[in-house]
Amino acid sequence: MKLKIWVGVMLLLSTLGTVHAAQEAPVQAVASAAGGIAIAAALSMGLSALGAGYAIGHAGAAAMGAIAEKPEVSTWGLIIVALAEGIALYGLVIAFMLTGKM
């Protein structure tokens, strides 16, 4: 529950920062907008890494339990864990796309 509150607060602050940047003077707006983009890039990478870690932890534990009981499902367990790893890679790609706009 606390994580959801912190995520909401960070998203609200980054949104307010970019809206406030659009209302400032042109030079300050560019600097402030770049700050908002940097915060958004950091949030996308950090939150996707947290989500991937959570998913890998739970899926990996379930996959290891399934493999212990039935070794022929090892391929499926590894595929599911690899898909969870993709969450972090998507966050990294979005972070690079956002930093390219600064």
pLDDT at 36: 81
Exposure string (b/e) for 24-62, b if CB count within 10 Å is 16 or more?
A: eeeeeeeebbeebbbbbbebbbebbeeebeebbeebeee
Measured in whole angstroms, the distance separating CA 65 from the mean position of its chain's CA atoms is: 28
From the list 60, 19, 50, 52, the residue with the least C-alpha distance to 36 is 19
Domains in the chain and their CATH numbers? 2-99 (1.20.20.10)
pLDDT by position in tens, the chain (length 102) = 666 676 666 655 566 555 454 555 555 555 567 778 888 888 888 899 999 999 999 999 999 999 999 989 889 988 989 998 888 899 889 889 888 877
pLDDT of amino acid 42: 87
